[in-house]
Amino acid sequence: MNRFTFSWCAWQTLFLRIAIAGLVLLGTTFVVVSRDEKLAGAWCTGLVGGANPWVGPSANHTMRIDNASISSAHWVAASNGAGMWNGVSGLTYGAAMMNGVYGDFNLYATNFGSWGWPNVPGITFNYDSAWNVESWPDPSHAYSQIFLNNTWSWNTSGYLNQSSKNADVTTVVGHEAGHSAGLNHPGACHVMCCNEPTSVMNPTYTKKWAINSDDIGGLNVFY
Ligand SMILES: [Zn+2]
C-alpha cells in the first residue's frame, strides 16, 4: 500500500503536527518564512503530501467525471470545483463526463475504508508518466486522480460537518483540484498567516466556492 502514502488529503491534524515539529527544528528561520504569504501552499513543494505542478507547459486539464460513481446530481458542483482554478496563471481547468474515456485527470467516488485510506472526504493522487504515484521529491506529474469518499453524505449547498461526515461537493473537489494543480496545505510546512487560513487549500470544514489571493499566489509559483 506504499502507493497510497502520497498526496492524500489529510483533513485532520497530521500536517499540523509536522508544522509544529518544523517550528521546533528550525526556530527563528521558520518564523520568518511563515510571514511570506505569497508563496502559499506552493512553499510546501517537495513535502510528502504531493505538492508539484503538472509536467511541461500548464496547458489544458479536463477533469473527467466518472458518471458511474459520481451522482448526476453532483456533476455541475464537481465541475464548479475544478473550475475554481480555471484561468489562473494560464492554467485551463475544466470538466467533462468520462463516458468511458479516461483522461489524464479523473474524478471518482469510492469507499476509502475498503482501500485502507483515512476516513476523509477527498484524496488526490498524482502520478508520473508511467502512472506510478509520484515519489518524493518529484518535479512534476503527468496524471492526477481525485477520489471522493462514498461513505460520506454529499450535498451541493455548501454544508460541511466532519463529525457527521457531511461534505459539499464543490468545496472538496475545489480543494482536491488544488492538489492536482500541485499545491499542498498552507499549514503543512509553516504556521499560517495572512490570507492562508481562508484559502481553499486550508483543509477546514467550511464552505469555499472560490479561491483566494493565497491560492492564486501558490499557482503563480508553479505556472
Ligand atoms: Zn488537502
Distance 79 CA to ligand 1 centre (A): 18
- Which string of b and e fits 154-170 if b means at least 16 CB within 10 Å? bbbeebbeeeeebbbbb
Q: Between β-strands 105-110 and 92-97, what pairing exists: parallel, antiparallel or unpaired?
A: unpaired
Distance 168 CA to ligand 1 centre (A): 14
H or E, element range at 126: strand 122-127
State the residue range of the domain holding 9. Answer: 2-222
pTM for this structure?
Answer: 0.80
Distance 82 CA to ligand 1 centre (A): 14
Distance 57 CA to ligand 1 centre (A): 24
What is the CATH number for 56?
Answer: 3.40.390.10
Asked if the peptide bond before residue 57 counts as cis, ω within 30 degrees of 0, the response is no
Half-sphere exposure of residue 70: CA atoms within 13 angstroms, side-chain side: 26
Distance 31 CA to ligand 1 centre (A): 23
Half-sphere exposure of residue 5: CA atoms within 13 angstroms, side-chain side: 6
Taking a 5 Å cut-off on Cβ, the residues next to ion ligand 1 are 9, 203
* pLDDT digit string, tens, across residues 94-111: 999 887 778 899 999 999
Distance 32 CA to ligand 1 centre (A): 24
Task: Please give the mean pLDDT across all residues of the chain.
Answer: 77
- For the chain, the domain total comes to 1
Give pLDDT, residue 41. 44
Distance 183 CA to ligand 1 centre (A): 9
Give pLDDT, residue 86. 95
- 99's CB contacts (< 8 A; 6+ apart) are 67
pLDDT band at 35 (very low <50, low <70, confident <90, very high): very low
* pLDDT digit string, tens, across residues 69-81: 999 999 999 999 9
All 3 cell numbers of residue 4? 497510497
